[in-house]
Structure 1
Amino acid sequence: MRAPALLCALPAVLATACTAPLREEINWNRVDLARERTAIEAFQAHDQKLQDVGWKLVRGNAGICARTIPAVGLQLQDMASYGSPAIARRALGLARDFAVQTAAAESPAGQSGAFRPNREIAALSGTDPNQWEAGARFDWERLARAHDHVDAVLADRGALTVAFADGGEAALAPVPVCATRFELMGEGRRAVADGNRVVIGIRFPAFAYPEDMFAGVVAHELAHNLLGHSDWLDHHGRRQGNVRRAEREADRLMPWLLANAGYDPEAALRFMQEWGPRHSGGILRERSHDGWDERAEFIAAELPAIQALLEESGKADWSVHFRREIAPLPAASSEQGASAGG
């Protein structure tokens, strides 16, 4: 979802890419490469914030969630996913298509120090993704294939070796995390979850909030995945009342997930108090959600139990102590999801 829209939304990188003909005919005299690179780096800064927060959440809750995968916290980028691969390559100084996008700060990739943004990649455990066929532009499928390849290598071999175009190499050992990816959309103001991913639009207002409050919205979306809401809604129907119950559960689980990730669980409440009056209140609010003040009350009601558990054991084990409002399906699939946006 991230790559195809990326350059349509960025202010500099191919502002006309979405209406340009498929075949690239570039007048390089009219291309401001410095501006293109600045736009890419601005997108990466938002993505870095999302990946850092997402990693803390899935890593901190890995001992509790039902499904975990081995991960290293590495995100790639593929020039084929840009509106003009040629301009993107030149702006970033790349000869190939694949490079580092982000490395989550506390992940194996982030801690290695080898995965600086835009470092060109030659191979992933012996496989060169640059050799895979790709479309002329806006091809997100090859990038998804590369991430799937990394996941498969980590699951099968228990390690990932990355060869860089500059001759360097880095070996990474994974750690278990809750099975969810985090993706930044190049446009939009919404946050959604589809069971395998949390996807947030670059214009979502909470990007401007302090990290712990921004983590609240990421935790809300992650909660949908961890609680299997989409499967439940598919089974029981997506009537307004059912959706509201799922949204309420996701709100209530927010502070639990934050606490296990090392954040102050009260940041979930502060997020709702900041975001709600501006974006979730009044007569125009979505009826699939409770009013923001009610949502804040539901979040606040979870805090005493979380604090008691943290003092007792240092962990807020929501798999045991969180009160479900909906009965989970007997065998929840990995294809889960829900709409959120607060």
Structure 2
Amino acid sequence: MRGIVLAALLAGWAGLATPLAAEPDIGGVDLDAERAAIARFQDADQRLQDVGWTIIRGNAEFCPRVIPSIGLQLQDLASYGSPKIARAALGFEGDFAVETAARGSPAALSGEFARNREIVALERFDPNEWPSGSRKDWRRLKRAHDHVDAMLAEHGGITVRFADGGEARVTPVDVCATRFELMGGGRRAVADGERVVIGIEFPAFSYEEAVFAGVVAHELAHNFLAHSEWLDRNKRKRRHVRRTEREADRLMPWLLANAGYDPEAAIRFMETWGRKHDGGLFRARTHDGWDERAEVIAAEIPLIRELMAREGKADWSAHFKRGIDPDKER
């Protein structure tokens, strides 16, 4: 059950074009079911943030653009389908709280960022006081994350104050510049150059971590290799998209290896996912068949293993052979 609260929790993708009906009264609402729906969403988001952080931290040395980060994902009840019900279910006074602290990140290591701990200040500003729409409004949450990034870049850290009177000062580390967002519905995984967005129904959420990391690595590869910008310049013709998909497949095992995962997990992802789903939603003429894709991935692994054995890292910025010239139009 997704519940009333999560029916449209599509952070960053919901939009506000459709007129919204009045919020339902909470009388008669099953708050236990709502809490369960929120917890399911947060469990999936935690998994996405944990794996994403592991990859962007492990590859920061090779990324074309890095940013300071503490691995903190916020939540804003204004982005929920019914903030009133969410507030009642979670027992919040305000709207902002911790969503996730990515495993191994400065936020997680501080021990201060427990899930659903309410937040009343990000440095000198209380994000609860910023204006927002009545519900399904993702813009204030984006503003809060942008503010955190700015504080980390400008001041080398951020002080977060909590509704319970606690306070934490956190210092960032460098990671590859990408955000991760979980959609409250859908089975797609996409990258837009700045974000990796995965629907909560994407089958790989049920896979073992290293295999799930394969789909995250594939989408990150699109961002790291600036595929969106290249396609914007060259038009999104089928043959162009196919070339970017092949290149993203080839970079997957490099990203996994630097994150501490077995690079062959990229092959296992393609086999596990492809056997069941290749002929359906994800299969198109813009993609090779899953078996061809697995072969392309496998061809990268000998060099990756050689580099890991010799240098302790797989420096794709120096050794990965691009299939696309990013500076030319073709």
CA distance in 2, matches of 1:283, 1:66: 32
CA distance in 2, matches of 1:16, 1:293: 36
Match of 1:215 in 2: 213
State yes or no: 1:52 paired with 2:50. yes
CA distance in 1, matches of 2:212, 2:305: 21
Shift of 1:23: 2.8
- Report how many residues are paired: 320
CA distance in 2, matches of 1:49, 1:204: 13
CA distance in 1, matches of 2:110, 2:126: 21
CA distance in 2, matches of 1:261, 1:301: 19
Farther-moved stretch of structure 1 (187-196 vs 278-287) = 278-287
Match of 1:236 in 2: 234
Match of 1:259 in 2: 257
* Superposition pairs of residues 177-188 of structure 1, within 5 angstroms: 177-188=175-186
1:201 to 188, 199, 202: 199
Whichever residue aligns with residue 114 of structure 2, its letter is R
Match of 1:77 in 2: 75
Q: Return closer, same or farther for 1:17/1:245 CA change in 2, 3 Å cut-off.
A: closer
Shift of 1:24: 2.6
CA distance in 2, matches of 1:188, 1:17: 11
Cα RMSD after superposing both structures: 1.9
Whichever residue aligns with residue 11 of structure 1, its letter is R
1:139 to 137, 140, 143: 137
TM-score, structure 1 length as denominator? 0.90
- Identity level (%): 65
1:13 to 4, 28, 35: 4
Match of 1:129 in 2: 127
Q: Return closer, same or farther for 1:284/1:202 CA change in 2, 3 Å cut-off.
A: closer
Cα deviations by residue, 1:311-341 (Å, 9 ceiling, x for unpaired): 00100000111010000127xxxxxxxxxxx
**Is the 1:60–1:260 Cα contact (8 Å) retained in structure 2?**
yes
CA distance in 1, matches of 2:281, 2:69: 43
**Is the 1:22–1:136 Cα contact (8 Å) retained in structure 2?**
no
CA distance in 2, matches of 1:189, 1:103: 24
2:188 to 179, 185, 190: 190
Shift of 1:90: 1.1
Match of 1:98 in 2: 96
CA distance in 2, matches of 1:75, 1:89: 18
Match of 1:298 in 2: 296
Match of 2:12 in 1: none
CA distance in 1, matches of 2:183, 2:194: 15
State yes or no: 1:26 paired with 2:25. yes
Shift of 1:282: 8.3
**Is the 2:181–2:196 Cα contact (8 Å) retained in structure 1?**
yes
Helix, strand or coil for the counterpart of 2:160? strand
Shift of 1:97: 0.6
State yes or no: 1:316 paired with 2:311. no
Match of 1:168 in 2: 166
Q: Return closer, same or farther for 1:257/1:71 CA change in 2, 3 Å cut-off.
A: same
**Is the 1:12–1:36 Cα contact (8 Å) retained in structure 2?**
yes
**Is the 1:23–1:136 Cα contact (8 Å) retained in structure 2?**
no
Q: Return closer, same or farther for 1:282/1:74 CA change in 2, 3 Å cut-off.
A: closer
TM-score, structure 2 length as denominator? 0.93
Shift of 1:35: 1.3
State yes or no: 1:287 paired with 2:297. no
**Is the 1:57–1:258 Cα contact (8 Å) retained in structure 2?**
yes
**Is the 2:8–2:136 Cα contact (8 Å) retained in structure 1?**
no
CA distance in 2, matches of 1:182, 1:14: 21
Shift of 1:22: 3.3
Q: Return closer, same or farther for 1:176/1:93 CA change in 2, 3 Å cut-off.
A: same
Helix, strand or coil for the counterpart of 1:116? coil
Farther-moved stretch of structure 1 (267-276 vs 282-291) = 282-291
CA distance in 1, matches of 2:67, 2:223: 14
CA distance in 2, matches of 1:242, 1:275: 24
Helix, strand or coil for the counterpart of 1:100? strand
Q: Return closer, same or farther for 1:310/1:25 CA change in 2, 3 Å cut-off.
A: closer
The answer for unaligned runs of 5 or more in structure 2 is 10-17
